[in-house]
Structure 1
């Protein structure tokens, strides 16, 4: 599922970004540009962090932006912005964040398989380091596909 959603249109690599809001807006815009979410989704996910704090920083160096399906999700989607120099979310020892994901879910359940796959990928610390070090979006895609093939073979 991740391999179907993350592609050269939904992954971008940056050396740095101004702040966490810009990181979220860039990652969200990838999904707007591919027709998966409305602009209102970006506003909702930024507002949520402003309101509730950096709860979206789910692990050291990894953030997962999201908002409610009714905030403008057209179809299930995922984007990734890699920030080589990291960006600070005020999340203590989990900063700086280098992998900024945006997840758009159409309901409260269909994205659970996607989240499970994402957790499986991100538990591999070596893979995370290789993704952060990748030079191109194509390299990131190949790393993720390779890991998913290995996981299938293990089953």
Structure 2
């Protein structure tokens, strides 16, 4: 299951009040950088794309899916999630976000199953609401259907 990429190492819950959208993307991607699944250049590219194209990564109310074109520093298909307790405006106040997903792809197709599973999860309004209300990584993992992790 592609959503198994989200686990206790790739999911985080933070307050968010001291973050802007660029910092939020960096912080959301940090677990992937720490695990050496992506390089900092990929994180910079995700931010650059939003700078150039606007808040198109805002895929639903309070949800962003940060991503960029595949690059050599992406070692494998990866996904992380940072939930912020405070909404952070993506580019402007028309796009408040609390769920910051980061997707890294190695090519143009291998990540499609991740997008399909993530879409199915987020199209369920009850799941999305539970994610938005989650106060801990464990609560998020419960919504994702993961068993308890240490």
The verdict on a shared fold, with TM-score over 0.5 as the criterion, is yes
2:6 corresponding residue in structure 1: 6
CA contact (8 A) 1:77 1:104 kept: yes
CA contact (8 A) 1:40 1:71 kept: no
After TM superposition, list the pairs within 5 Å mapping 1:32-111 onto structure 2.
32-70=33-71, 72-90=73-91, 93=94, 95-111=95-111
Aligned residues: 145
Instruction: Give the drift of 1:92.
Output: 6.1
1:149 corresponding residue in structure 2: none
- Give 3-state SS (helix, strand or coil) of 2:64's partner: strand
Name the TM-score, length of structure 2 as normaliser: 0.90
Q: Distance in 2 between matches of 1:6 and 1:13?
A: 13
Distance 1:2 1:141, change over 3 A: farther
Q: Distance in 2 between matches of 1:71 and 1:133?
A: 36
* Deviation sequence 1:5-50 (CA, Å, 0-9, x none): 0011111101224211011000111110112101111111111111
Counterpart check, 1:145 vs 2:145: yes
2:130 corresponding residue in structure 1: 130
Could you list the structure 1 runs, at least 4 aligned residues long, displaced by more than 6 angstroms after superposition: none
- Give 3-state SS (helix, strand or coil) of 2:44's partner: helix
Q: Distance in 2 between matches of 1:102 and 1:90?
A: 17
Name the TM-score, length of structure 1 as normaliser: 0.87
